[in-house]
């Protein structure tokens, strides 16, 4: 479907129209064409101009009378169409406007001319010879250095295709050269760096295959650190076998159990000196003094007093054999702990240098864990030693044992892991060559990954893809143009063998004339004649009245025949079954109200009844016809139908959404009232609203004529009715009469046409008219509603 006419410049009254800035709803949303589109515009507002733009999509060209015309049309499923390529779409377009009439019904303008014949499906005739001539003209000459028509177009397209091939091949050759250099160039190609990348028979085919690998989503190139490690692996030689670690036996459980016993062991409390029990320092001091004095001194070296036998007995009972034994055991156990500490301090893991570089990271991790475990083990031993020394200093009083962390199993486990890593390293010696091959593969893929980034491989491939699309497009154009030429040649041959009866085309027109309009006295006849050039029987259409060729047709008769001809032509062999986009431009010109209804009926039954159209546009200046159009099937469905108006301001026009009051209340009376209401509400005149004042005279005159005719349906003149309406005060009536006559007819004051209008007078007159109408509240409120305005009461 046609979505929008995006822009129009320098085409008749459309000077610089832009759809997206003009065709918006109240919320500012851009609205597009729909399946059914109704366009209302007063005369000279640009309806026929729009139809000519759309007809250019049908004919492939627009009138050369327009100076530098520009337009852009958006069609769904196709690139935008401009004045440069009207025929670059695949839609079937059928437009009814005055250009269609001039081209197909020449008798209207020259009675000696005929109507262009056409064939309904299944019937054809003399039109074929004219078509053959037209087709030959379209083909042109096919002489060397003197080609014309389609043969010239085909040659130009072939040249363009050759250029596209060359550009595409150049891009491919450039990328291929870069890939070839990377794969096989000496000395920097992958092939010549086998010591690093591992393949002495590397080719560009292998490079392309591996580019596909590194471009896969799940591919992850090696990091810079991994790259350094792999390069180190390539330089490694086989290492000596790493010997196993000596067995390490730790006694933490035994040491802990013994320590707990010694620290918590109780000493008998009978015959003890209470003061010494309470003071460990004093107790130690007395014990050392006893050892220094007994059997050595008779007097105390500290106080110089004699130590009696009784005192010696008390001291012997206090420092008995049980406490001495405990102290001896603590001292002995502390020596065992010291031995365990020496064992731990001399324990070590495996030297890093003994391993291959690939294991260095694991060795470093294990070494760190092992060193920490040893320190934790030493710390646990120190904790036990501290508790034992505290008990030794206070031998008579048992202590609460504080558990120490046992790290021995972790140390053993880590040593086991060291051994496993040693085994892995020893086994690695046997598969070093295969690991180095893997390293070369990974380094090569990383090199390719960096290479395609450096040469912007994706960008080049995208460009090649774009050039391929252009190449294919040029190829398709070439093939299509070749096919077009071939098809025309076939068609010419076919048409030369076949004639079609075109009399049925005339019968279809007569069917519409008779069935819808009752014009059985006016008919279209297919007249047979012999073509002098070809000798074949041909037909031409003539309008007959009373079995004679008709002359001096009225405007109404020509309008009816023209529209019936168009409707019948929608059934011809070039249109039927092709779901055309149909544009009908103001089909009711010079027709009375009965014929207007019949035109509507014909559209309703033949177009909507068949439903064989993709999209429909109907434009009109006639509000009565617009009233019928809103009855069309789907016209009330917002998803199927859109309504537009053409608004002309001075010498330029624009397209806008149709105001709801025009669509909902389709009478000229409502429209005229709306113009007067607008004039009464505008305080400041600008480029957007000055036409409301410019046209006020005509609008007010016609409104008052209609309004006063029904208000005073007698034979009194307009001035009398004006005075009745405005009351005894002559000033409003005189003022209004002056505006209505002078500004609408330039009544006796022709110089008025050379000056701008007096806006205050218009504004005042509009308000006076509304004030008088307001006296009938019901009518005034109804008129306001008809133009989408709510009545504001004084309370509000």
Residue 633 belongs to domain with CATH number = 3.40.50.300
84 domain residue, yes or no: yes
pLDDT in tens, 379-405: 999 999 999 998 888 887 788 999 999
3-state secondary structure of 148: coil
In 445-603, the DSSP E strands lie at 522-530, 537-545, 548-549, 581-585
792 domain residue, yes or no: no
pLDDT in tens, 10-24: 999 999 999 999 999
pLDDT band per the 50, 70, 90 thresholds, residue 745: low
In which order are the strands placed within the sheet that holds 70-75? 14-18, 2-11, 70-75, 81-82
**Above 50 in pLDDT, residue 750?**
no
How many Å apart are CA 508 and CA 502, to the nearest integer?
A: 10
Give the angle subtended at the CA of 660 by the CAs of 654 and 666, to the nearest 5°: 95
Q: Identify whether residues 29 and 73 lie together within a single domain.
A: yes
Q: Residue 299 forms beta bridges with which residues?
A: 306
Sequence-distant (6+) residues with CB within 8 A of 611 are: none
**Above 60 in pLDDT, residue 706?**
yes
**Above 80 in pLDDT, residue 261?**
yes
173 domain residue, yes or no: no
Q: Identify whether residues 619 and 756 lie together within a single domain.
A: no
- Across 222-243, average pLDDT: 79
Q: Identify whether residues 671 and 654 lie together within a single domain.
A: no
**733 CB-contact burial (10 Å; exposed 0-12 / middle 13-18 / buried 19+):** buried
- Integer CA distances (angstroms), 68 to 56, 281, 714, 782, in order: 15, 118, 57, 49
Q: Identify whether residues 710 and 589 lie together within a single domain.
A: no
Neighbours of 376 (CB within 10 A): 15
pLDDT in tens, 576-626: 778 899 999 988 876 766 678 888 888 888 888 777 889 999 999 888 888
3-state secondary structure of 720: helix
Instruction: Single out the residue in 428, 453, 485 at which a domain terminates.
Output: 428
pLDDT in tens, 756-779: 445 677 788 888 888 888 888 888
6-33: b or e for each residue (b if 16 or more CB lie within 10 Å)? bbbeebbbbeebebeeebeeeeeeeeeb
- For residue 156, give the DSSP letter: H
- Secondary structure element (H or E) that encloses residue 347, with its range: none
Q: Identify whether residues 627 and 687 lie together within a single domain.
A: no
**Above 70 in pLDDT, residue 266?**
yes
447 domain residue, yes or no: no
Percent of the chain scored above 70 by pLDDT? 81
How many Å apart are CA 89 and CA 5, to the nearest integer?
A: 15
Q: Identify whether residues 266 and 397 lie together within a single domain.
A: yes
How many Å apart are CA 349 and CA 368, to the nearest integer?
A: 10
What's the confidence (pLDDT) of residue 126?
44
Neighbours of 211 (CB within 10 A): 18
Q: Identify whether residues 603 and 688 lie together within a single domain.
A: no
- With residues binned 3-state (H G I as helix, E B as strand, rest as coil), the percentages for the chain, rounded to 5, are 55, 10, 30
184 domain residue, yes or no: no
708 domain residue, yes or no: yes
Q: Identify whether residues 772 and 694 lie together within a single domain.
A: yes
Q: Identify whether residues 2 and 65 lie together within a single domain.
A: yes
How many Å apart are CA 130 and CA 179, to the nearest integer?
A: 60
537 domain residue, yes or no: no
Domain count, the chain: 3
How many Å apart are CA 567 and CA 572, to the nearest integer?
A: 10
pLDDT band per the 50, 70, 90 thresholds, residue 271: low
Instruction: Single out the residue in 410, 428, 446 at which a domain terminates.
Output: 428
Q: Identify whether residues 596 and 652 lie together within a single domain.
A: yes
Q: Identify whether residues 330 and 394 lie together within a single domain.
A: yes
How many Å apart are CA 553 and CA 562, to the nearest integer?
A: 12
187 domain residue, yes or no: no
- Across 554-578, average pLDDT: 81
Sequence-distant (6+) residues with CB within 8 A of 684 are: none
How many Å apart are CA 225 and CA 608, to the nearest integer?
A: 74
pLDDT band per the 50, 70, 90 thresholds, residue 538: low
445-469: b or e for each residue (b if 16 or more CB lie within 10 Å)? bbbbbebbeebebeebbebbeebbe
What's the confidence (pLDDT) of residue 193?
85
Sequence-distant (6+) residues with CB within 8 A of 131 are: 495
- Across 113-125, average pLDDT: 58
**Above 60 in pLDDT, residue 122?**
no
pLDDT in tens, 40-99: 998 889 999 999 999 999 999 999 899 999 999 999 988 999 999 998 898 999 999 999
Q: Which residues constitute the domain of residue 710?
A: 667-786
Instruction: Single out the residue in 428, 445, 466 at which a domain terminates.
Output: 428
Q: Identify whether residues 324 and 395 lie together within a single domain.
A: yes
Q: Residue 657 forms beta bridges with which residues?
A: 644
């Amino acid at each position: 479907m046609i979505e929008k006419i995006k822009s129009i410049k320098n085409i008749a009254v459309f000077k610089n129209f832009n759809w997206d800035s003009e065709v918006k709803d109240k919320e500012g949303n851009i609205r597009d064409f729909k399946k059914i589109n109704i366009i209302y515009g007063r005369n000279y507002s640009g309806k026929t101009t729009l139809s000519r733009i759309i007809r250019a999509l049908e004919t492939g060209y627009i009138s050369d009378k327009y100076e530098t015309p520009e337009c852009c049309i958006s069609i769904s499923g196709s690139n935008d169409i401009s004045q440069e390529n009207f025929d670059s779409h695949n839609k079937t377009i059928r437009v009814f406007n005055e250009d269609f009439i001039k081209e197909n019904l020449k008798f209207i303008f020259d009675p000696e001319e005929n109507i262009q014949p056409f064939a309904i499906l299944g019937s054809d005739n003399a039109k074929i010879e004219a078509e053959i001539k037209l087709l030959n003209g379209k083909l042109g000459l096919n002489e060397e250095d003197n080609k014309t028509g389609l043969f010239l177009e085909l040659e130009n397209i072939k040249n363009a295709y050759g250029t596209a091939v060359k550009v595409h091949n150049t891009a491919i050759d450039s990328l291929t050269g870069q890939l070839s250099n990377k794969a096989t160039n000496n000395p920097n190609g992958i092939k010549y760096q086998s010591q690093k990348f591992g393949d002495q028979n590397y080719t560009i085919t292998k490079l392309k295959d591996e580019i596909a690998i590194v471009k896969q989503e799940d591919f992850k190139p090696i990091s810079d650190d991994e790259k350094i490690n792999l390069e180190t692996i390539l330089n490694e030689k086989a290492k000596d076998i790493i010997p196993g670690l000596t067995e390490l036996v730790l006694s933490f459980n035994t040491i802990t159990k013994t320590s707990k016993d010694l620290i918590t062991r109780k000493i008998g409390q009978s015959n003890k000196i209470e003061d010494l029990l309470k003071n460990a320092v004093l107790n130690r001091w007395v014990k050392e003094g006893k050892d220094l004095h007994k059997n050595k001194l008779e007097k105390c070296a500290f106080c110089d007093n004699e130590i009696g036998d009784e005192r010696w007995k008390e001291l012997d009972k206090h420092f008995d054999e049980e406490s001495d034994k405990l102290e001896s055991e603590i001292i002995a156990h502390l020596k065992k702990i010291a031995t365990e500490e020496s064992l731990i301090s001399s324990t070590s893991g495996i030297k890093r240098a003994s391993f291959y570089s690939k294991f260095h990271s694991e060795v470093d991790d294990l070494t760190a864990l092992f060193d920490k475990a040893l320190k934790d083990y030493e710390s646990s031993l120190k904790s036990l030693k501290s508790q034992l020394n505290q008990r030794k200093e206070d031998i008579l009083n048992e202590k609460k044992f504080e558990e120490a962390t046992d790290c021995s199993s972790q140390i053993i486990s880590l040593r086991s892991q060291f051994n496993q890593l040693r085994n892995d390293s020893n086994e690695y010696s046997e598969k070093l060559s295969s690991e180095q091959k893997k390293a070369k593969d990974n380094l090569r893929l990383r090199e390719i990954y960096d290479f395609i980034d450096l040469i912007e491989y994706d960008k080049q491939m995208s460009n090649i893809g774009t050039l391929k699309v252009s190449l294919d497009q040029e190829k398709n154009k070439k093939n299509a143009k070749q096919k077009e030429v071939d098809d025309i040649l076939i068609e010419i041959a076919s048409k030369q063998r076949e004639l079609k009866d075109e009399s049925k085309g005339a019968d279809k027109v007569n069917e519409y004339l008779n069935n819808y309009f009752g014009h059985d006295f006016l008919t279209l006849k297919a007249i047979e004649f012999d073509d002098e050039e070809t000798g074949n029987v041909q037909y031409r259409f003539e309008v007959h009245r009373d079995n004679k060729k008709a002359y001096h047709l009225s405007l109404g008769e020509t309008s009816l025949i023209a529209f019936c001809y168009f409707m019948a032509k929608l059934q011809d062999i070039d249109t039927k079954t092709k779901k055309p986009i149909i544009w009908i431009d103001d089909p009711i010109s010079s027709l009375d109200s009965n014929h207007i209804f019949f035109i509507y009926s014909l559209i309703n039954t033949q177009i909507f009844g068949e439903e064989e159209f993709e999209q429909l546009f109907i434009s009109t200046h006639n509000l009565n016809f617009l009233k019928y159009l809103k009855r069309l099937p789907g016209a009330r469905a917002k998803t199927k139908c859109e309504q537009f108006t053409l608004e002309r301001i001075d010498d330029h026009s624009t397209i806008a959404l149709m105001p709801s009051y025009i669509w909902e209340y389709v009478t000229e009376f409502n429209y005229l009232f709306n113009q007067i209401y607008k004039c009464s509400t505008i305080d400041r005149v600008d480029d957007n609203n000055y036409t409301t004042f410019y046209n006020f005279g005509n609008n007010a005159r016609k409104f008052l004529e209609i309004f006063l005719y029904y208000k005073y349906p007698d034979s009194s003149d307009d001035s009398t009715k004006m005075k009745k309406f405005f009351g005894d005060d002559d000033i409003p009536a005189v003022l209004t009469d002056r505006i209505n006559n002078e500004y609408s007819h330039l009544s006796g004051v022709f110089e008025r046409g050379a000056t701008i209008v007096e806006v205050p007078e218009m504004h005042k007159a509009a308000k006076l008219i509304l004030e008088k109408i307001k006296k009938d509240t019901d009518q005034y409120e109804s008129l306001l509603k008809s133009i989408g305005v709510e009545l504001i009461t004084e309370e509000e």
